[in-house]
């Protein structure tokens, strides 16, 4: 394997502020690199979730090689990371480790019990009794480990009184046990190589409370699982591809507590998923998290690629938009968005000169294109019979300068806002 500069291999980045540049097409790294320069964030240039690889018909090696090739061509010689995102199984771990990924994001969401938020006391007690019986807490019980314990977090006391403790345990206890298992698979798959682990519960229904985050941190520590970052589910709405929706002041107060827990019971970084386009809260995030920050973006770079299409081949962009409108009803499932089927016909009526604005600058149109990327990139064809993906790739190669320029501008805006607080 060529490794001319000795650094074309990704490395763990550690506890420095970092930024993940997901790239669904494999041609975005030059633009990402331009945005990254002088940003003060350590970059993750290869980052894709297992779900996204499946939706784009890419392998972990494809993702890795696309980044490596671009970095090599640019003569890049600083450290960079590679994030195997949202891993759920041992197979996911082995598949991505074999391709050289060194940042492993464990997604235990299938073991998170969202209903814990609304269960009554009897149901909580029953669920915890079953966890204790299953040995989730080793020879101990969750009550024995935590009931009545007080932890000082950022100068304030957090106390595990009975009901909140039971709720935290029911919600996350089995998920944390799954993280320990996954950490074992990651360790085994990396025999002797350096790696780092993130745990993400961002894709769950209910926000992660301070006490629940503390419970998570303490349980990871008790189990000897060291993480470099943890992605809680924050309050407010982190919809794909658009700005934050919610109370920014309340977000800031909750974030302060998350960061204090991460600092005092890790230390690890707080990871912000669906981090694309959350411009209104970036200054708060940058200021509150300081060095303990990781941000992940992905879909926003795909939308910038489509912007290149919109500006250089308007008829093709119209075809992609129409196709996406047709796929929306099916593809929106599993996404957290607010645009609905009823919005689509109106959006599709946009005139040619409004099409870029409606579908790439406004929330509803952005979300339609955002959730249909998998269909566009693996199923859709132009009227002339070429695959959309092939047609998009041809345009991006032909207009590589414009592609890099729009990415630098858009991702650069993200990085600038994160430093604006």
So which residues are the catalytic ones?
85, 198
Residue 30 or 236: the one with the smaller Cβ distance to Zn ion is 236
* Closest of 70, 73, 83 to residue 27, by C-alpha: 70
Least distance (Å) between residue 353 CB and Zn ion: 36
Rounded CA separation 416/421 (Å):
10
Stretch that binds Zn ion, among 74-82, 94-102, 200-208, 319-327 (CB under 5 A): 200-208
With CB atoms as reference, the residue minimizing the distance to Zn ion is 273
User: Counting contacts by CB under 5 A, is residue 273 touching Zn ion?
Assistant: yes
Stretch that binds Zn ion, among 191-199, 202-210, 248-256, 260-268 (CB under 5 A): 202-210
User: Counting contacts by CB under 5 A, is residue 174 touching Zn ion?
Assistant: no
Residue 207 or 326: the one with the smaller Cβ distance to Zn ion is 207
Residue 202 or 319: the one with the smaller Cβ distance to Zn ion is 202
Work out which of 83, 202, 313, 408 binds Zn ion, going by CB under 5 A. Answer: 202
Stretch that binds Zn ion, among 195-203, 277-285, 360-368, 394-402 (CB under 5 A): 195-203
x/- binding map, residues 214-253, to Zn ion, per CB under 5 A? Answer: ----------------------------------------
Rounded CA separation 50/327 (Å):
21
Least distance (Å) between residue 290 CB and Zn ion: 22
Q: Count of residues for the chain?
A: 421
Stretch that binds Zn ion, among 65-73, 270-278, 320-328, 355-363 (CB under 5 A): 270-278
Stretch that binds Zn ion, among 56-64, 197-205, 209-217, 255-263 (CB under 5 A): 197-205
Using DSSP's 3-state secondary structure scheme, residue 321 falls into helix
Residue 52 or 202: the one with the smaller Cβ distance to Zn ion is 202
Number of residues that bind Zn ion (CB under 5 A): 2
Cite the DSSP H helix spans in 142-236.
Answer: 142-146, 162-189, 210-222
Least distance (Å) between residue 208 CB and Zn ion: 13
Rounded CA separation 65/13 (Å):
19
Site for Zn ion in 131-170 (CB under 5 A): none
Q: How far is CA 337 from CA 73, 272, 341, 345, 369, in A?
A: 37, 17, 11, 17, 12
The distance of Cα 279 from the centroid of its chain, to the nearest Å, equals 16
Residue 158 or 270: the one with the smaller Cβ distance to Zn ion is 270
Site for Zn ion in 373-392 (CB under 5 A): none
Residue 141 or 206: the one with the smaller Cβ distance to Zn ion is 206
Q: Which H or E run includes 199? A: strand 196-200
User: Counting contacts by CB under 5 A, is residue 212 touching Zn ion?
Assistant: no
Look up tokens 């940058």; give the residue: 286
Rounded CA separation 132/136 (Å):
6
DSSP letters, 61-120, are HHHHHHHHHHHHHTT--S--EEEEEEE-SHHHHHHHHTTT--EEEE--GGG--GGGGT--
CB 124, CB 166: distance < 8 Å = yes
Least distance (Å) between residue 322 CB and Zn ion: 29
Phi-psi region of 243 (alpha: psi -120 to 50; beta: other; left: phi over 0): beta
Least distance (Å) between residue 296 CB and Zn ion: 6
* DSSP for residue 95: H
Residue 83 or 202: the one with the smaller Cβ distance to Zn ion is 202
Rounded CA separation 190/184 (Å):
10
Least distance (Å) between residue 336 CB and Zn ion: 10
* Token representation of residue 306: 């489509």
Query: In this structure, are strands 81-87 and 196-200 parallel, antiparallel, or unpaired?
Result: unpaired
* DSSP for residue 115: G
Using DSSP's 3-state secondary structure scheme, residue 376 falls into helix
Least distance (Å) between residue 92 CB and Zn ion: 14
Binding site for Zn ion (CB under 5 A): 202, 273
């Amino acid at each position: 394997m060529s490794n001319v500069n000795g650094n074309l291999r990704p490395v763990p980045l550690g506890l420095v502020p970092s930024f993940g540049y997901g790239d669904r097409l494999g041609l975005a790294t030059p633009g990402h690199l331009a945005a990254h320069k002088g940003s003060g964030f350590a970059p993750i240039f290869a980052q894709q979730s297992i779900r996204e690889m499946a939706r784009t018909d890419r392998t972990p090696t494809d993702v890795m090689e696309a980044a490596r090739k671009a970095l090599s061509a640019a003569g890049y010689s600083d450290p960079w990371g590679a994030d195997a995102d949202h891993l759920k199984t041992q197979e996911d771990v082995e598949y991505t480790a074999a391709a050289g990924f060194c940042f492993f994001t464990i997604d235990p969401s299938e073991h998170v019990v969202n209903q814990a938020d609304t269960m009554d006391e009897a149901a909580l007690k029953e669920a915890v009794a079953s966890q204790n019986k299953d040995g989730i807490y080793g020879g101990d019980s969750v009550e024995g480990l935590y009931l009545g314990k007080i932890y000082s977090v950022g100068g304030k006391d957090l106390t595990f009184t009975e009901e909140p403790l039971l709720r935290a345990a029911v919600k996350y206890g089995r998920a944390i046990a799954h993280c320990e298992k996954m950490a074992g698979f990651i360790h085994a798959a990396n025999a002797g190589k350096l790696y780092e682990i993130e745990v993400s519960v961002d894709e769950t229904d209910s926000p992660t409370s301070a006490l629940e985050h503390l419970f998570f941190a303490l349980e990871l520590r008790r189990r000897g699982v060291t993480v470099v970052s943890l992605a809680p589910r924050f309050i407010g709405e982190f919809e794909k591809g658009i700005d934050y929706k919610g109370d920014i002041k309340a977000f800031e107060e909750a974030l302060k507590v998350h960061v204090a827990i991460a600092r005092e019971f890790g230390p690890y970084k707080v990871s912000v998923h669906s981090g694309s386009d959350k411009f209104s809260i970036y200054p708060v995030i940058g200021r509150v998290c300081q060095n303990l920050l990781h941000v992940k973006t992905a879909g926003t770079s795909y939308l910038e690629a489509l912007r290149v299409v919109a500006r250089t081949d308007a008829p093709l962009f119209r075809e992609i938009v129409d196709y996406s409108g047709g796929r929306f009803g099916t593809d929106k499932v599993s996404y957290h968005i607010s645009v609905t089927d009823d919005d689509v016909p109106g959006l599709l009526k946009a005139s040619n000169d409004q099409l870029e604005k409606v579908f790439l600058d406004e929330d509803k149109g952005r979300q339609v294109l955002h959730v249909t990327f998998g269909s566009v990139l693996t199923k859709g064809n132009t009227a002339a019979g070429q695959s959309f993906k092939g047609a998009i790739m041809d345009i991006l190669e032909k207009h590589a300068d414009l592609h890099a320029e729009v990415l630098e501008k858009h991702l650069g805006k993200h990085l600038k806002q994160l430093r604006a607080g």
